[in-house]
A and B are shown apart, each in its own frame.
Chain A
Amino acid sequence: MTSFKMKATLAALLLAGSMVPAVSAETLKIGAIGSLSGGGTAWGLAIKRGAELAVDEVNKAGGLKVGDKTYNIELVMYDDQYTGQGGKTAAERVVFQDKVKFVVGPIGSNPVLSTMEVTTPQKVLLMSNGYTPKILQNDHKASYNFRFTLTNIEFAPSMMKWVKDNLKLKKVGILVPNDAIGQSVAPPLVKLYKESGIETVVDYYERGSKEFSPLITRLMAAGIDGFDINFNAPGEAGLMVKQARQIGFDKTILQMGGPSVPEIIEVAGKQAEGFISYEMVDFDAPAVVPFVKAYAAKYGAGIMNSQTPAFYNTTKILFEAIRRAGTVEDTTKVRDAVEGIAGYDAGIYGPVRWTGMANYGVNHQLALPFYVVEVKNGKPVNRATLQVD
């Protein structure tokens, strides 16, 4: 009986499946990969919602016109659990099961690298985030992938120039954890300061420690006039800001890393006043306000992080490239269209500009503007808009 039921269901499914092509001729599936469970969920939701808002826009306008056909867009998303293995599994499902040719996401170096292992050989176009240089600097020269968010390689030189010109610092204290991460983060940062003529004092704390007062006292005794909380996780970074102020450090506290301004304000409270960091989006800018409204209308007034507009932007650039290439099948043509899309304005960040040749050997890195912010009355306030070189 059970097996009869199963056969019947299978037959029904096959029947339904055979009817699909008539409809799907007008439907274009776009893949999305991101964390929908665990600690990275906020980032996965940012990908999903950013892409959904772009998809809604196109579908409401009657669909995406490619050549002489018009497509209704459908988003297919899978969870990568913020791991390499999860990214690979999600990529296999989206590429082999759903036969998708274009993927937005994921966020995070490990999921991105393992997703690329699946998408690149299949010539599936990947539009991702991720911090490691290997995403663009690899054997195949990022043949079928682009990066849509900045890393320290992009923003640090411009931000350092701004710090040098505006904060007039002479000696900066840097605290990093005494482990592989700290030891890899500190030297390039020290070098960058040195090139700007700013002295540095570096100290290491034991991972897991929450008390930084003795070390900050030590940095203060060394005569620092700036304290850089760099790439420390938001929890630790927030405590550093709080404790530095509590023991009377009244000079500049900045962050050549992040961005995690809201989290740091949450931990440091009033002590975050005057803290300087960078943000990816100016949520109060006129060009961003309609997007913020559309977001609130669809998802309520919850917190939106800066990855959401980034993936809205990514998805819109992808649609425009598909439209210009005039094909939904030939990903090589679409890739070339993405490369040649410079000047197109998707709404939030201004005209598209590609960079990366000097650092990675390929111009597949999106050059976004970014913002130096200072905390005033408990809120980040824009101090400068910077461009990536």
Chain B
Amino acid sequence: MLSNPVVLGQIVVNGLSLSSIYILVALGFTLLFGIMRVVNFAHGEFAMLGGFSLYYLYAVFKLPWLLAIALVPFLVALPALLLEWLVFRWFYQKMFQSMIGLLGLNMAMIYTGLIVWDAFERNIPAAFDGIVRFGGVIAPIDRLVTIGISLLALAGFYFLMVHTRWGLAMRAAAQDVDIAATQGIDTRRIYKLAFVVAIGLAALAGALYGQIYAVSPFMGERPLFVAFVVVILGGMGSVSGAALGGVLLGFTESLLGTLYGGSVAAYASFGVVVLLLIFRPWGLLGKPE
């Protein structure tokens, strides 16, 4: 099968499009852990809110797609500050408590969604319908747009973390929150900023995910699960690790899924995660604690 260049090309295109979604989903997750040591079990539910936001803005209120997708992160992340104040802030720097506490929040959000929206899957019409052909290889335009947005988000995120004072402050807080505070960094504000960025990314990922697949109160399960695998592969808290993990998982699924079927792909992804946790528990690009 690999000797067929068209199949090989299709594996690469499928791998790229999967990777881009996976990276976007994992970025916010790893940021919350890297800076606040919070394992956000409710991550998928913020993605779900992103999906519903795009559904209303684009499919119901008919806003132009670019405007709608640009509004989604703000529409979810700013009101989510209330949840930050109510729930999240109590779990900063408390990894294990955060797991249980946010698992509870996850349940509450799913079933609130179920009451509000019912269990039906909703479809967000495609903003870009066509396909592009490179030789015999075919790429759907909506997937190419997702790849582009992921790259933009990754670049923007890198710029924020490395080239701005806010990013410097976040990295300082990530290394040692007390010392950062003694240097005059308002860690409470930095945490809020990191929270808004992380939730905004989750919402953006959920909007794109929801448009490619479907929107429902249960749609967050898969993104959460993906974020976990990607972040464990790349290293908890590592941004470049999330990018690497996303690419690895996306291409593993595409290559093994095409060559050996879906079960083998799932088996291999988890096999790698288990091996990694045994031999390099801090992940490929993480730092040992």
Q: Which residues of A contact B (CB under 8 A)?
A: 39, 178, 203-206, 208-211, 213-215, 217-218, 220-221, 234-235, 238-239, 246-248, 266-267, 269-270
Interface string of B77-93 (1 = CB under 8 A from A): 00000000000000000
Interface residues of B in 124-147 (CB under 8 A from A): 125-126, 129, 131, 133, 138, 140, 142-143
Contacts of A210 in B (CB 8 A): 212-214, 222
9 A–B contacts, CB within 8 A, in A order:
A213-B18, A214-B257, A217-B10, A218-B258, A238-B123, A248-B131, A267-B123, A267-B214, A269-B129
A221 to B123, CA, bound (A): 29
Q: Smallest distance from the beta carbon of A148 to chain B beta carbons, Å? A: 26
Take A211-B18, A269-B129 as given contacts and tell me if A217 and B11 are in contact as well, using a CB distance cutoff of 8 Å: yes
A350 to B17, CA, bound (A): 51
Q: Is the CB of A247 within 8 A of B10?
A: yes
Q: Which residues of B contact A (CB under 8 A)?
A: 1, 4, 7, 10-11, 13-14, 17-18, 118-121, 123, 125-126, 129, 131, 133, 138, 140, 142-143, 212-214, 216, 221-222, 253-259, 261-263, 265-266
A215 to B18, CA, bound (A): 13
Take A39-B119, A239-B213, A246-B140 as given contacts and tell me if A206 and B4 are in contact as well, using a CB distance cutoff of 8 Å: no
A contact patch SS: helix
Interface centre among A178, A214, A221 (most CB of B within 10 A): A214
Contacts of B256 in A (CB 8 A): 214
Q: Is the CB of A247 within 8 A of B258?
A: no
Contacts of A218 in B (CB 8 A): 1, 257-259, 261
CB contact between B123 and one of A214, A215, A266 (< 8 Å): that residue: A266
A210 to B133, CA, bound (A): 24
Take A213-B14, A217-B10, A218-B257 as given contacts and tell me if A204 and B262 are in contact as well, using a CB distance cutoff of 8 Å: yes
CB contact between B258 and one of A178, A221, A269 (< 8 Å): that residue: A221
Q: Smallest distance from the beta carbon of A221 to chain B beta carbons, Å? A: 5
A205 to B258, CA, bound (A): 12
Contacts of B4 in A (CB 8 A): 221
Q: Is the CB of B126 within 8 A of A209?
A: no
Contacts of A206 in B (CB 8 A): 262-263, 266
Q: Smallest distance from the beta carbon of B185 to chain A beta carbons, Å? A: 41
Contacts of B263 in A (CB 8 A): 178, 204, 206
Q: Is the CB of A247 within 8 A of B11?
A: no
**Told that A39-B118, A267-B121, A269-B126 touch, could you supply 14 new A-B pairs with CB distance under 8 A?**
A204-B263, A205-B262, A210-B212, A211-B18, A214-B11, A214-B254, A214-B257, A217-B7, A217-B11, A218-B258, A234-B121, A235-B121, A269-B129, A270-B129
Contacts of A209 in B (CB 8 A): 222, 262
Q: Is the CB of A239 within 8 A of B10?
A: no
Pairs A-B, 8 closest by C-beta atoms = A214-B257, A248-B138, A246-B140, A210-B213, A235-B121, A205-B262, A213-B14, A214-B258
Q: Smallest distance from the beta carbon of A23 to chain B beta carbons, Å? A: 41
Take A210-B222, A266-B123 as given contacts and tell me if A217 and B262 are in contact as well, using a CB distance cutoff of 8 Å: no
Contacts of B257 in A (CB 8 A): 214-215, 217-218
Contacts of A214 in B (CB 8 A): 11, 14, 253-258, 262, 265
A178 to B262, CA, bound (A): 9
Contacts of B10 in A (CB 8 A): 217, 247-248
Q: Is the CB of B214 within 8 A of A235?
A: yes
Q: Smallest distance from the beta carbon of B151 to chain A beta carbons, Å? A: 20
Q: Smallest distance from the beta carbon of B52 to chain A beta carbons, Å? A: 16
Interface centre among B10, B216, B256 (most CB of A within 10 A): B10
Contacts of A234 in B (CB 8 A): 121
Q: Is the CB of A269 within 8 A of B11?
A: no
Contacts of B118 in A (CB 8 A): 39
Q: Is the CB of A208 within 8 A of B221?
A: yes
Take A208-B222, A210-B214, A214-B254 as given contacts and tell me if A247 and B138 are in contact as well, using a CB distance cutoff of 8 Å: yes
Q: Smallest distance from the beta carbon of B81 to chain A beta carbons, Å? A: 30
Contacts of A204 in B (CB 8 A): 261-263
Contacts of A270 in B (CB 8 A): 126, 129
Q: Smallest distance from the beta carbon of B212 to chain A beta carbons, Å? A: 8
A209 to B249, CA, bound (A): 14
Q: Smallest distance from the beta carbon of A165 to chain B beta carbons, Å? A: 31
Contacts of A178 in B (CB 8 A): 262-263
Contacts of B222 in A (CB 8 A): 208-210
A194 to B221, CA, bound (A): 38
A204 to B265, CA, bound (A): 11
A238 to B261, CA, bound (A): 20
A215 to B266, CA, bound (A): 12
A291 to B222, CA, bound (A): 43
Q: Is the CB of A217 within 8 A of B261?
A: no
Q: Smallest distance from the beta carbon of A62 to chain B beta carbons, Å? A: 42
A246 to B259, CA, bound (A): 19
The chain B residue sitting closest to A208, CB to CB, is B222
Contacts of A208 in B (CB 8 A): 221-222
CB contact between A215 and one of B119, B129, B214, B262 (< 8 Å): that residue: B262
Contacts of B140 in A (CB 8 A): 246-247
Contacts of B212 in A (CB 8 A): 210
A267 to B120, CA, bound (A): 12
Contacts of B143 in A (CB 8 A): 246
Q: Smallest distance from the beta carbon of B22 to chain A beta carbons, Å? A: 10
Q: Smallest distance from the beta carbon of B45 to chain A beta carbons, Å? A: 16
A214 to B129, CA, bound (A): 20
A239 to B142, CA, bound (A): 14
Interface centre among A234, A246, A270 (most CB of B within 10 A): A246
Q: Smallest distance from the beta carbon of A188 to chain B beta carbons, Å? A: 21
A211 to B213, CA, bound (A): 8
